[in-house]
Amino acid sequence: MEGTSVHRLLALISVLSCSTNQALTAGLTVSPSRSQFFEGDSVSLSCEEHSSAGWTVRRKTTGGHRTQCGEWGKPAGSSCNISSLYKHDTGVYWCESREGAASSSIQFTVSGGSVILQSPVLPVMEGDDVTLSCQTKTPSNLPAAFIKDGIFIGSESSGHMTLHHVTCSDEGLYKCYISGYGEFPSSWISVSEKPPTTAPPVSLDPIPASASSHLWFMLVCHLVVFCPYFISTLLLVSLNQHRAAVRNDPPVAMVMTPPTQAEQGLDDDYDDVTTEHHF
């Protein structure tokens, strides 16, 4: 099928993991924002992030032709309006400047059948909820089955399925089926990585006067209570160290040296002296 070949081409040129260039996808927006349309629907494409002069909407269709707005749509500044879509409008679209700079591309499908899958045309953020709707040309809420990458993932009686807190593993080709309505095209859903969170900035606001006064009061109270205790502790430690030093000093020995021979002789001479008195 023609639509299937375009989807497979998109799958090859898309990174089969979380998209990391979500900032660029805002370059081209689609209104109404969905990836599938019925023949006869209208659509508007805008280069909102590139509103300066020189940006043009371009596309590549299933035939491989690269053309710009004016050949298949009505230019309006950096926008392009298509009043009535046909199957050959299925393709890849992007914004391009005169210098050759290009935004990221998006892809949508124009179905000639009676059932389309309404899904986001732009990448969805990791962790978000995504609702898929299986729609017929005449609005209805018929039971629908949903398929991802060729595998049945569930059915809903209302025709709507919500994917909660999507992750990288939810990226892929989706389509829906309503019994008795024939051909149903598929759409590629991309999931973008959630940007890392940053720490909150540190507040540099001055401390209020009341809080400052309270802090000073608490500081004074602590000093009044702590200083006497600290001083007494130092005195006790110093006294204990002094006592220990005294106990550890060695005793002084009293050594009595014997008298020398000269001293002994002198003592003997004094003993032999006789004092005579003449009257």
* Distances in whole angstroms, Cα of residue 143 to Cα of each of 155, 173, 240: 7, 20, 93
**For residue range 5-51, what is the model confidence (pLDDT) as tens digits?**
544 544 444 444 454 444 343 488 999 999 999 999 999 999 875 44
Residue 157 in tokens? 């009686």
Report the C-alpha dihedral over residues 33, 84, 177, 16, rounded to 10 degrees: -50
Percentage of residues of the chain with pLDDT beyond 70 = 61
Judged against a pLDDT cut of 60, whether residue 260 lies above it is answered with: no
Please indicate whether residue 171 or residue 181 has the higher confidence score (pLDDT): 171
Q: Average pLDDT in the 63-90 region?
A: 91
Domain ranges within the chain, ordered by starting residue: 2-192
* pLDDT at position 130: 94
For 117-154, write each residue's pLDDT tens digit.
999 998 999 999 999 999 998 877 889 999 999 999 99
Which pairing describes strands 36-38 and 106-111: parallel, antiparallel, or unpaired? Answer: parallel
User: What CA–CA distance (Å, rounded) separates 36 from 3?
Assistant: 10
Higher pLDDT, 198 or 128: 128
> Is residue 256 over pLDDT 50?
no
Measured CA distances, 99 to 45, 55, 59, 94 (Å): 20, 9, 17, 14
Q: Is the pLDDT of residue 276 over 50?
A: no
Arithmetic mean of pLDDT over the chain: 76
Q: What is the mean pLDDT of residues 181-204?
A: 75
Cα distances (Å, whole numbers) of residue 134 to 105, 130, 153, 169: 24, 13, 14, 22
CA dihedral (101, 103, 107, 108) in degrees, to 10, reads -110
pTM for the whole thing? 0.59
Instruction: Choose between 3 and 156: higher pLDDT.
Output: 156
Query: Which CATH superfamily does the domain covering 2-192 fall into?
Result: Immunoglobulins (2.60.40.10)
What is the reported pLDDT for 209? Answer: 57
